[in-house]
Amino acid sequence: MSSSEHIVSPVVYVGVFLALMALTGLTVFASTVDLGMWNTPVALLIAVTKAVLVVLFFMHLKYSSRLASLAVGAALLWLLLLIAGVVADYLSRGWVGSPGT
């Protein structure tokens, strides 16, 4: 167990803050451009980047124990399992050929 605490410099916080603001602007801008099928992935990618910045620096995950990362990883994995399982049903509906199969 690490007992000493990592003090993050406010410069880092401000840097992360500026990046988050910039990414917010970017995602609004990107939504106005027709990227074809890529609009949604780009929006999600930007959101994930922002979330990672918040988690790593504002929430100190970068400086926390591995267990905290494990909790985050488990949550994301389970969220994916939930969505993947449900989506698997909707995407494969009707493959057999009659309605409701």
Partner 1 sequence: MGAELPLFPVQASTMAGRVDALYAFLITVSVFFGLLIAVTLVSFAIRYRRRSRDERPQPIEGSVALEVAWSAIPLGIVMVIFLWGADLFFAMARVPPAPMEVYVVGKRWMWKTQHLGGQREINELHVPVGVPVKLTMTSEDVIHSFFVPAFRMKKDVVPGRYATAWFQATRAGTYHLFCAEYCGTKHSGMIGSVTVMEPAAFQAWLAGGATGTSLAAAGEKLFQDLACITCHRSDSEGRGPRLEGVFGQPVTLASGERVVADEAYVRESIVNPTAKVVAGFQPVMPTYQGLVNEEGLMQLVAYVKSLGGAATVGPGAALASPAPAAASPAPPPRPKGQGR
Partner 2 sequence: MTTQIGPGTGEPPRPPLPPALSEPPPPRVNYLNVAYGVKSWLLTTDHKRIALLYLASVTLMFFLGGAFAVLIRLELVTPAGDLVQSETYNKLFTMHGIIMVFFFLIPSIPAVLGNFLIPIMIGARDLAFPRLNLLSWYIYVFGAAFTVYALVSGGVDTGWTFYAPYSTTYSNTHVIAAGLGIFINGFSSILTGLNFIVTIHRMRAPGLTWFRLPLFVWAHYATSLIFVLGTPVIAITLLTVVLERALHLGIYDPRLGGDPILFQHLFWFYSHPAVYIMILPAMGVVSELVSCFSRKRIFGYPVVAMSSLAIAVIGFLVWGHHMFVSGQSTYAGLIFSFLSFLVAIPSAIKVFNWTATLYKGSVSWDTPMLYAIGFVGLFTIGGLTGLFLASLGLDVHVTDTYFVVAHFHYIMVGGAIMGYLGGIHFWWPKITGRLYPEMWARVAAVIVFAGFNLTFFPQFILGYLGMPRRYHAYPEEFQVLNVMSSAGASILGLGYLLPMIYLVWSMRYGPKASANPWQAKGLEWQTASPPITENFERQPVVPEEAYQYAPESEARVV
Partner 3 sequence: MSSVADAAAHGAERHHPDLVHHFESLPAQKEAATLGMWVFIAQEVMFFGGLFAAYTIYRHLYFHAFVQSSRHLNLPLGAINTAVLICSSLTMAMGVHASALGRRRATVAWLLLTVALGSVFLGIKAVEYKDKFEHHLVPGESFQAEELHLEGPAARPAQIFYSLYFAMTGLHAAHMVVGIPIILTIAWMAHRGRFSPEYHTPVEMTGLYWHFVDIIWIFLFPLLYLIGRHH
Residues 2 and 65 sit within 8 Å (Cβ to Cβ): yes
Residue 98 one-letter amino acid: S
Q: Tokens for 56?
A: 């790593």
Instruction: Figure out which of the listed residues 1, 38, 62, 95 binds partner 3, where binding follows CB under 8 A.
Output: 1
Question: What does the per-residue mask of binding to partner 3 show for 53-82, with x meaning CB under 8 A?
Answer: -xx-xxxx---xx-xx--xx-xxx-xx--x
98 belongs to the binding site for partner 1 (CB under 8 A) = yes
CA gap 89, 75 in Å, rounded: 22
Are 30 and 46 in contact by the 8 Å Cβ rule? The answer is: yes
Residues in contact with partner 2, shown as a per-residue x/- string from 5 to 44 under the rule CB under 8 A: ----------------------------------------
Kindly list the residues in this chain that would bind partner 1 in the complex (CB under 8 A): 94, 96-101
